[in-house]
Structure 1
Amino acid sequence: MKCGGVAEAKDATPEVQQICDEVKPLAEEKAGKKFDVFVAKKFTTQVVAGTNFFIKMAGKWYLIGFATNAQWFINHRASMKMGTAILTPTANGNLEMSYASLNADGSCWRMSHLAEKTNVPGKFIFKSERWNNENDMRVVDARYNEYALIHTIKTKGGVSTVLNKLYARGTDLGPDLLEKFRQFSLDTGILPENIAILPKNDECPAA
């Protein structure tokens, strides 16, 4: 199978079942119900730099860190708080991304994208219809049960900006990971004042 190709479905292994057990609470939260039976039957893999289980990125993430060199962030940083993202890998290796953040007035800001996989390991591309920009998104570093560092280059009208996001499975991360995010953002050209660790926030109700 060539790099980036998706293998045929195989019978689930104990390792795959363990991953399913770990994400079961996230799946129940998204579905809004409890599952009496949550057993892996089949799984598929993708050959990139090694074998990547699509299921590892699945589930709920909290947006802990946000850093960008985009001009709009200067005026909006003070009002930004922690939000959530639900990531759902598709059967063909793409990634459905649904974002939600509770506003101060109790309303919810929501947005979703379908990011398409590429032949580059951990790289996805998508177009934002809301902001009318092209996005080159890469998973730079991750421990899938703890955190994910995502780097995106956004291009509109020939002008590109950088956006780095630090996601976590919970609402807290250790200082070493926060520092890793800060240093990575500096290394990608973002000024220190444009690197934010977002304050905690109540969550939006399920859509």
Structure 2
Amino acid sequence: MALSPMMTGVILLGSLRSQLRKSDLPIVPRLSNIPLQMNFIAEQFQGKWYVVGVAGNAFTSEEQGRFKMYTTAYDLQKDNSYIVTSTILRDNLCDRFVRTFVQKDRPGQFTLGNLKSYGLQDYFIRVVKTDYNNYAVVYFKKTVNNVDYFKITLYGRRDNLQPELKKDFTNFVKSLGLTDENIVFPVKINKCIYEA
């Protein structure tokens, strides 16, 4: 069955929009530009972290003020993987989702366990920097439908961090080609994030 010229135009326009969205994303930085925490200590990294800042090639400043703070807890397993539980406020309920981060190549680097069940082609995690007691910066990269997305998360052991840590985070993500438009500091909320 032949397509009408109008239907062909609609299909081409949809394809063009899809390609434009892909090309509008900031380029994913080379892994060599992403530091790895030296002498990563898995036991000290485990525990609860508040998501204090996020930046990435799919984030926009339009989300500022609407993006709610959430928590992520890392539970170290005997094989040096983590069971990772995030608690997010969704539809006025506390929603939890659990993943497994499996150590990959070097301490402080991980991949997502059971990758295919999430519909992903690739998922990579690297702990960039942490002092274990106050803050951590973690890099995430995923590939979906041959498109690469990356984000950098600023974690805090408390729901608030010193301004200089937020400034260091901002400077780091800008060094990777992101702008203020790609950085979001989630709104602190009283629901869900203080639960165990």
Match of 2:86 in 1: 99
CA distance in 2 between counterparts of 1:131 and 1:75 reads: 27
> What root-mean-square deviation, in Å, do the aligned CA atoms of Structure 1 and Structure 2 show?
2.5
* Kept in 2: contact 1:101–1:203 (CA 8 A): no
The normalised TM-score by structure 1 is 0.68
C-alpha spacing 1:65/1:144, structure 2 compared with 1 (3 Å): same
- 1:128 and 1:61 map into 2 onto residues whose CA distance is 27
Q: 1:114 aligns with which of 72, 75, 100?
A: 100
- SS of residue in 2 equivalent to 1:183: helix
Aligned to 2:138: 150
1:68-147 equivalences under 5 Å are: 68-70=56-58, 73=60, 76-103=63-90, 105-126=91-112, 127=115, 129-130=117-118, 132=120, 134-147=122-135
> Relative contact order (alpha carbons < 8 A, sep ≥ 6): 1 or 2 greater?
2
TM superposition shift of 1:198: 1.3
Per mean C-alpha deviation after superposition, the further-off stretch among 143-152 and 186-195 is 186-195
The answer on whether the counterparts of 2:68 and 2:186 sit within 8 Å (CA) in structure 1 is: yes
Kindly name which structure, 1 or 2, has the bigger radius of gyration based on alpha carbons. 2
The match for 1:62 is 50
Deviation at 1:113, TM superposition (A): 1.0
**Alignment coverage as a number of residue pairs:** 158
> Which runs of no fewer than 5 residues in structure 1 stay unpaired?
1-47
Deviating above 3 A after TM superposition, structure 1's stretches of 4 or more consecutive aligned residues are 48-53, 73-78, 128-133
Could you tell me the TM-score, scaled by structure 2's length? 0.71
Identical-residue share of aligned pairs (%): 27
